Amino acid sequence: MACLVPPMYDARPIQRSKPQKTYPLLQDRYERICAISRCTSNSIYLYRDIAETTGRKVVLKKPNRAVLLDQAAYNTVGKLLAVEGRALSRINHSGVVSLISQGDGYLLLEYVHGKNLHDNKRSMSESAKLKAMLSLCDALSAVHAAGIIHRDIKPANVVYNVSSTLLDFGCAKGDGLITESESAENGGVTDYYGKAAFVGTIDFCPPENSSPSDVGKQSDLFSAGGVLYYLLTGNAPYECKDDDDIYGRKLVTENDIASKVPRKFLPVLSKALQPLPENRHQSAAEMKEDLLRIGL
């Protein structure tokens, strides 16, 4: 879920339901501006830091109202937020959203100004699209160097404003993101998504995302290739009948790619969107090298 304010948003006060969870840190220092977005498990709000003269904006990610009403759901979402915070705490890079603080059931994040690539593609020049991809590769290099796999790279999770910033590590995977005590409490799991049928966004994630334990950095690079394909064509790399069409989705062929994108992008896309991980770019640096050959 992207941590940014869309061009239009509803800034009316949100009607609260009980039970509520309070955040003393926010009450003492931050003033809420508006709700940004909601999904099935989390809500995201924009706040202003009233302790700083600059009035710095920050983003709060927390369980949504329905989750707060269900203790079991709250426990699960709280664990996933904790993993996301730990993943972000390992990464220090300008192309990755910064974690400001985390606590019981919430994350406080850097506010990233700009539009995501899903909303921004029509107004971007070909040169800007290439720059967005180059900086996304830099961000992914930092993420992978920290031992983290994002698992949900897509246009909506990348904000572009001169350079790209990668958001939403809610599906992140990495050694040690679940503590030994947490693993013991949950039957020895090392990934809360370990038994999931699919992790990520169905029309941008590679085939191996249907088996979360098999996902590696090449999986993120496939999805990055999907972002490039989307920027150039306006389409995702998969055709899906619906959001649950995991096994019926159809990946674009090399002939499809050749007929829809400028020829100079073919070497990057034909490699990035290979079904088998071993046939793709093996690092974000390798993908960046291929992109640099295109020239700005």
Residues 179 and 54 in one domain: no
Q: Which of 86, 110, 134 is the last residue of a domain?
A: 110
Residues 218 and 272 in one domain: yes
Residues 88 and 209 in one domain: no
Verify cis geometry, omega within 30 degrees of 0, for the bond prior to 19. yes
Q: Please report, as a single letter, which amino acid is at residue 262.
A: P
Residues 100 and 119 in one domain: no
Residues 136 and 84 in one domain: no
Residue 141 CA to residue 135 CA, distance in Å, equals 10
Residue 124: burial class (beta carbons within 10 Å; 0-12, 13-18, 19+): middle
Q: What is the DSSP string of 250-274?
A: EEPPHHHHHHHS-GGGHHHHHHHT-
pLDDT over threshold 60, residue 13: no
Task: Please give the mean pLDDT across all residues of the chain.
Answer: 85
Yes or no: say if 164 and 158 are a contact pair by the CB < 8 Å rule: yes
pLDDT over threshold 80, residue 213: no
Q: How many structural domains is the chain composed of?
A: 2
The answer as to whether 3 is a domain residue is: no
Q: Which of 110, 134, 164 is the last residue of a domain?
A: 110
The answer as to whether 77 is a domain residue is: yes
The answer as to whether 5 is a domain residue is: no
Residues 151 and 269 in one domain: yes
Tokens representing residue 8 in the block: 């239009």
Residues 93 and 127 in one domain: no
Residues 98 and 82 in one domain: yes
CATH number for the domain harbouring residue 178:
1.10.510.10
Residues 125 and 76 in one domain: no
pLDDT of residue 193: 73
pLDDT over threshold 90, residue 89: yes
The answer as to whether 1 is a domain residue is: no
pLDDT per residue over 258-281, tens digit each?
999 999 999 999 999 999 999 999
The answer as to whether 62 is a domain residue is: yes
Residue 190 CA to residue 175 CA, distance in Å, equals 8
pLDDT per residue over 215-272, tens digit each?
899 999 999 999 999 999 999 998 776 666 666 678 888 898 999 999 999 999 999 9
Q: Which of 70, 95, 110 is the last residue of a domain?
A: 110
The answer as to whether 90 is a domain residue is: yes
pLDDT per residue over 191-211, tens digit each?
777 666 678 888 898 988 777
Average pLDDT over residues 177-183: 80
Residues 30 and 54 in one domain: yes
The answer as to whether 19 is a domain residue is: no
Determine the structural domain holding residue 65 and report its residue range. 24-110
Yes or no: say if 158 and 137 are a contact pair by the CB < 8 Å rule: no
Residues 37 and 101 in one domain: yes
The answer as to whether 195 is a domain residue is: yes
* CA 276 to chain CA centroid, nearest Å: 22
Residues 65 and 188 in one domain: no
